[in-house]
Amino acid sequence: MTDENRREAIPPTVTQLKRSATNNFIQKSKEAIMQNPIPQLETIPGKDLLTQPIEPLGFTIDAILPHGLFILAGSPKVGKSWLALDMCHAVASGGSLWNYSAALGDALYLALEDNPARLQERLSKVSPGCDLDAPTDIHFATQASKLGNGLAEQITAFLDDHPQTKLIVIDTMQYIRNTGKFTGSYSGDYHDMDALREIISDRKLTLLLITHTRKTGDTDPINLVSGSTGLAGAVDGVFVLEKKKRVDNRAKLTIANRDTKSHRFDLQFDCLDCRWQFIAETGDDDPLYELLNCLLDDTPSWSGTATQLCAALIALDPAYSTPPVALSKTLKSQQGFLRSQYGIECAFTRCKTARIIELSRDLIVVDPDACTRPQAARPGQQTAGERPVVVQPFPLGEPTALCREAESVFS
């Protein structure tokens, strides 16, 4: 046997086999690229971008809800659906949400947790004077296909039949998502949001997804959205509705949009017309009013010196720092604002040695779900059309009993 034949008879090593496989893969990749060339990046020079005419951002609700993909998150039964229904009503009627005008058009509400009877009851509350001859309307559906299994085709068909649609609400988002290996993961959340965005691409409207917040607290409301960070990161904006206590009728709405100014609104639920009423817009620069609310959550009334009040507020938020004299002046100048916007009464009295600040708060307890529950009146109890109110001030040491009495109005 010659040396050449002997070399051919020796089997290749593992290293040689790997090298050969790699070379074959590279060769096949080159051939594939030659047959299907990778497209080059399409770039635009910054100078051209600055002079290029671009259509301005459109809004479904002026200043707060642009066109695009958005999330409305909140804990269960906090009143998310009432807020979303009010948005739909503002669009269908061409009215406004608070002081923000809405674009006139149709609205599609996928109420996947509800039934026709509940929807009829809610709509009669939010829109009692519905114009039956109006060209626009809110269209409801209580069933829809899953994402990737017909949902896109269903919504596209609706939009083709109703081209003037301005708002789509999916309540709740979990009902249209598929369960699988990547559900809840960063990549899975991003993939689903991209699929939903594709449905409304090239259309001048807003798709609002309703979902829940996680139970664990966070100083940033956006981090409360249930799911991975890919969920909030993939959408154009996030609305988070929060309440301090389940029986409280006040809430905060944080709005963080990609292309507009952020907002933080103080809201109050009005059970008479089942709508969230705008109270005031608060910023993050001065947390005083929020801290006063938290202080009176623990006790319905408080009294003490300005120095003692500073210490109580710092105990709630160690980052808060205001001299007692400045705090006293602020409260003195904002008495009317505190009373009208927060229901907080602030009075000043003097004793022999110090000036005393007295704080107390009205309690109006409202359960948003109570608006659709039948109410049987007892002797001395308000009827279904009356607003349940527990008159302030709380007698010290009796808040629990009064809260129970307030909740009984809705039982």
180 and 112 both lie in a single domain: yes
Q: Could you please report the per-residue DSSP string of 314-339?
A: HHH-TT----HHHHHHHHHHTHHHHH
293 and 195 both lie in a single domain: no
Q: What is the CATH number of the domain that holds 138?
A: 3.40.50.300
Total domains, the chain: 3
Residue 384 in any domain: the answer is: yes
Task: Give the predicted TM-score (pTM) of the model.
Answer: 0.67
Q: What is the CATH number of the domain that holds 324?
A: 1.10.10
Distance CA 162, CA 97 (A): 23
Residue type, 176: I
* pLDDT of amino acid 410: 34
339 and 372 both lie in a single domain: no
* pLDDT of amino acid 34: 73
Q: pLDDT digits over 67-123, tens only?
A: 999 999 999 999 999 999 999 999 999 999 998 999 999 999 999 999 999 999 999
Q: pLDDT digits over 178-221, tens only?
A: 876 666 688 888 889 999 999 999 899 999 999 999 887 777 88
Q: pLDDT digits over 288-323, tens only?
A: 877 888 888 877 889 999 999 999 998 888 888 788
Q: Report yes or no: 158 and 105 within 8 Å, Cβ to Cβ.
A: no
Q: Report yes or no: 251 and 293 within 8 Å, Cβ to Cβ.
A: no
pLDDT band at residue 379, thresholds of 50, 70 and 90?
very low
Q: pLDDT digits over 116-135, tens only?
A: 999 999 999 888 777 777 78
Q: In which element (H, E) is residue 337 found?
A: helix 335-342
Q: β-pairing, 237-242 with 250-257?
A: antiparallel
Distance CA 244, CA 221 (A): 13
* pLDDT of amino acid 371: 60
